[in-house]
Amino acid sequence: MSDTAPAKPPLLELDKLSLSFGGLRALTELDLQVSEGEIVSVIGPNGAGKTSVFNVITGVYKPTSGDVRFAGQSIAGKRQFQITRLGIARTFQSLRLFQNMTVKENVKAATYGHTKASPPESILRLPRARREEREVDALAEEVLSFFGERLRGYRWNQPAYVLSYANRRRLEIARALATRPRLLLLDEPAAGMNPNETLEVTEVIGRLRDELGLAILVIEHDMHVVEGISDRVVALDHGIKITEGAFDAVATHPAVVEAYLGRDPEALAEA
Amino acid sequence: MPQIGVDEWVAQSGERREQGTGLGRALATLDARFGWWPRLALAAAVGLVFGLSTGNVNLLTVGFTCLLYAILSLGLNIAAGWSGLLDLGYIAFVGFGAYGYAIFSSSALGTGGSGGAHLAAFESIPIVVIAAGLVGVVIGLIALRLEGDYLAIVTLFVGQAFFEVVNNVDPGTLGGVNGIFSIDSLHGLSGNVSTPRGYYLVALIIIVGLAAVLHLLDTSRTGRAWRALRDDPLAASAMTIPVNKLKVMAFSFSAAIGALGGTLFAAQTSSVFPTNFTENILILIFACLVLGGAGSIAGAIAGGIIVWALEQMLGSPTDAGYLFYGLILLTLFLKIRPWWKLGAVLAGIVVFGFLAHAIVGAISSSATAGHPGSTGWIGSAVKDWVIVPSDPIGYGNILFILVICLVLALVRLQGTARLVLVVPTVYLAACCWESRLIVNPAITTQIMLGVILIVTMAARPNGLLGSRRVEML
């Protein structure tokens, strides 16, 4: 993949985006694009501002300056649920499932924005409420089937808190899919997983793009995953984009190496 | 049955534990086959049989109040149980409903005790309930930015404000401390509900309808969104759920049901006073919800019925005595295994009592000169067993403190030491009961209700019918 600008306008575009908390600058004039069907990874050391990028895109924080455009429309300052309805769904680094709801309910809850039945319609089970409920059921079963047998069968009716750690991560992704996104933001999808599960996550991310046609922005620390999935890699440090491009180029870029490991003492001595 | 140790078996272990055996499992199977309505129909049939078979007016009135608390607890469940909003202003909505009905269905709007609106129930109740829903929207909007404890404090103020308003503003209409009286019974369309049985049946119809409506709502997109909101508001918002709108809706629905309960209360008692709607009642409604299991419709109803039934039983010394000794025996039977240990403890308690009575009586005859508070066969059975001095008040107070200390020690101890300590604890509790507690039923009611709540919640932290719940990990 080259880092030249794509021909058609990108699906997601951050334009000189800055975010400050009082005097603390979390993000500084960040430019970032994600095109349709593209998988972009964001890497950087802890505290680099990766999750802040997600939080600004999804509306948890309002940007201090700059703009966020999705499908050509500015979404900066919109509320979280509005942004998700437009087609940006996310998962959380520190799993935030609806613990006391069943697996299926977790997914069905995420369809609220795409259904319309009012409480009286639901209570009387009027045609629209019944139709929506059927559709939502089918959608829930479809997104849960995406993970093969992992989230199927008897697990549908288990509360989320009994799931294993890896299954909770999978359920986070399934729940995000139920909002029918065009762009999926994955915050460390492989964190805390064993090598087998990590491999599976890598494969799932590829299928999300190939089978569902999603654009994906992913934060990940596991460089094997990043290497395996990324069309393009963006490296952040201290809220500033230090470089961007193909995995090999970024991974060996001196600024990236320095951000992760500090400066090479020998190189320092030579300088 | 999956193979032991296999993934699926491990994952189902929690389910098996919750499902249990016997009755619980039978009910679960029934549920899986027929859904929710046979259970509701069964409960309704039991309620109907009770209402039609008993001619006892007191019993029917108690039954009505039980159902009234169940209705109020169902309304609170929407805000506090499903949506996780600690709404301490709920009592204001109940009062709003009662006062609303009182104003529209009495001479309060007329002059000098005549005239007034006197609307039929099918006019005044919908007006009041819808108005309460709108007030709920306003309160909800005010409370939007608050969470947890802060929300609780602000809504508590709302409850207090309601009390002050009806107590002080416009005594001509609202009656001030004297309240509004001579309120019409439920009437309209040439019908008139005037008997205790009539009110009981009206309450029964309302609660069955309400349970069905709330179940259908709970399993709809709105119910799911409320529960998602309770578990994690940020994630709910990220999953297309407009959190603010749903919070306001929860407040509003909860207020409307609270007001519905209030209208029934006003119609049945035919008078309302500001003191009917104080924090005491609010706490009782919360007790219903928590005891039954917050978040569960069946739990909220059961909680309302149980709490009010207990309250009534504890008010009568004879029934309170049965409850006191019954609960102690029940706890011992449930907690002490195997049977020979249980037998030893029971025998120990009896022997310990007669010995103590004999020894103390030999030392000082005035120390055992008093009479046990219980009358009837319990009274004569324990006459030579418990130590009741001629002046039992101060002695009873000291015993009460001592019993609390002993119970605390019991909780900390394990094994044989615990078993041994059970003997004097139960005995002293009985002495305290006979010499002090039973003499003041009004105070004892509160203490006993508190003890029962604490013990039940310690045994079942999720309430009687609530499901296990975890907080964010």
Look at residue B407 and tell me if it is in a domain. Answer: yes
Which of A55, A96, A163 to probe the B interface (max B CBs under 10 A)? Answer: A96
Look at residue A92 and tell me if it is in a domain. Answer: no
Number of domains in chain A: 2
pLDDT digits (tens, 9 = 90+) for A206-260: 999 999 999 999 999 888 899 989 999 999 998 899 999 999 888 888 888 888 8
Query: What domain range includes position A114?
Result: 98-165
Identity of the residue numbered A1: M
Look at residue A28 and tell me if it is in a domain. Answer: yes
Look at residue B455 and tell me if it is in a domain. Answer: no
Same domain, A66 and A111: no
Query: What domain range includes position B58?
Result: 36-315
Same domain, A125 and A242: no
Question: What tokens does A8 get?
Answer: 């058609």
Residues of B in contact with A100 (CB under 8 A): 227, 230-231, 467, 469-470
Same domain, B160 and B236: yes
Task: Mark which of B289, B315, B341 sits at the end of a domain.
Answer: B315
- The residue of chain B nearest to residue A120, with distances taken between CA atoms, is B217
> Using an 8 Å Cβ cutoff, are B429 and B447 in contact?
no
CA dihedral in degrees (B399, B405, B411, B416; nearest 10)?
-70
Question: What tokens does A161 get?
Answer: 């808190």
Nearest to B256 by CA among B83, B100, B75, B66: B75
pLDDT tens-digit profile, chain B (473 residues):
555 555 666 666 656 655 555 666 676 676 677 778 888 888 898 989 988 888 888 889 999 999 999 999 999 999 998 998 888 999 999 999 999 999 888 877 776 666 777 887 788 899 999 999 999 999 999 888 888 788 888 889 999 999 999 888 877 778 778 888 878 888 777 778 888 888 999 999 999 999 999 999 999 999 999 999 999 999 999 999 999 999 999 999 999 999 999 999 999 998 899 988 988 899 999 999 988 888 889 999 999 999 999 888 888 888 888 888 998 998 888 888 888 899 999 999 999 999 999 999 888 888 888 888 888 888 888 888 888 888 888 888 899 999 989 988 988 888 889 899 999 999 999 999 888 888 887 788 888 888 888 878 877 788 888 777 776 54
Look at residue A5 and tell me if it is in a domain. Answer: no
Same domain, B81 and B26: no
Residue A63, Ramachandran bin (φ over 0: left; ψ between -120 and 50: alpha; else beta): beta
Which of B240, B243, B473 to probe the A interface (max A CBs under 10 A)? Answer: B240
pTM: 0.86
Same domain, B344 and B372: yes
Same domain, B252 and B362: no
Same domain, B306 and B335: no
Same domain, A186 and A266: yes
> Using an 8 Å Cβ cutoff, are A174 and A98 in contact?
no
- Do B240 and A81 count as a contact with CB atoms less than 8 A apart? yes
Look at residue A170 and tell me if it is in a domain. Answer: no
pLDDT digits (tens, 9 = 90+) for A15-24: 999 999 988 8
Look at residue B426 and tell me if it is in a domain. Answer: yes
Name residue, tokens 């919800």.
B289
CATH number, domain containing residue B310:
1.10.3470
Same domain, B145 and B287: yes
pLDDT digits (tens, 9 = 90+) for B322-356: 888 998 998 888 888 888 899 999 999 999 999 99
Interface of chain B toward chain A, CB-CB under 8 angstroms: 8, 11-12, 14-15, 213, 216-217, 220-222, 224-225, 227-228, 230-232, 234-243, 249, 253, 467, 469-473
Q: Which of A100, A114, A119 is the closest to B240 by Cβ?
A: A114
> Using an 8 Å Cβ cutoff, are B277 and B402 in contact?
no
CA distance A155 to A161: 11
Counting Cβ atoms within 10 Å, is residue B118 exposed (0-12), middle (13-18) or buried (19+)? middle
Q: How far apart are the first and last CA of chain A?
A: 34
- Our CA-based measurement puts residue B173 at a distance from the nearest CA of chain A, in whole angstroms, of 35
Number of domains in chain B: 3
Look at residue A93 and tell me if it is in a domain. Answer: no
- Whether residue A6 has pLDDT greater than 90: no
Q: Which pLDDT score is estimated for A1?
A: 45
Q: Which pLDDT score is estimated for B174?
A: 80
CATH number, domain containing residue A239:
3.40.50.300
Same domain, B306 and B341: no
- Do A99 and B242 count as a contact with CB atoms less than 8 A apart? no
Contacts of the segment A160-165: beta carbons below 8 A, 24+ positions apart: A160/A97, A160/A98, A160/A99, A160/A100, A160/A101, A160/A102, A160/A103, A160/A106, A161/A97, A161/A99, A161/A100, A161/B470, A161/B473, A162/B11, A162/B14, A162/B15, A163/A103, A164/B11, A165/A192, A165/A193
> Using an 8 Å Cβ cutoff, are B98 and B263 in contact?
yes
What is the 3-state secondary structure of chain A? Answer: CCCCCCCCCCCEEEEEEEEEECCEEEEEEEEEEECCCCEEEEECCCCCCHHHHHHHHCCCCCCCEEEEEECCEECCCCCHHHHHHHCEEECCCCCCCCCCCEHHHHHHHCCHHHCCCCHHHHHHCCHHHHHHHHHHHHHHHHHHHCCCCCCCHHHHHCEHHHCCHHHHHHHHHHHHHCCCCCEEEEECCCCCCCHHHHHHHHHHHHHHHHHHCCEEEEECCCHHHHHHHCCEEEEEECCEEEEEECHHHHHCCHHHHHHHHCCCHHHHHHC
Name residue, tokens 């039991």.
B46
ipTM over the 0.85 cut-off: yes
Look at residue A7 and tell me if it is in a domain. Answer: no
Look at residue B446 and tell me if it is in a domain. Answer: no
Look at residue A53 and tell me if it is in a domain. Answer: yes
Same domain, B295 and B434: no
Q: Which of A98, A108, A113 is the closest to B235 by Cβ?
A: A98
Same domain, B190 and B333: no
Same domain, A82 and A102: no
Q: Which of A106, A113, A136 is the closest to B240 by Cβ?
A: A113
Look at residue B467 and tell me if it is in a domain. Answer: no
Identity of the residue numbered B471: E
Q: Which of A109, A132, A161 is the closest to B241 by Cβ?
A: A109
Name residue, tokens 């209700």.
B449
Task: Mark which of B315, B340, B359 sits at the end of a domain.
Answer: B315
CA distance A246 to A223: 13
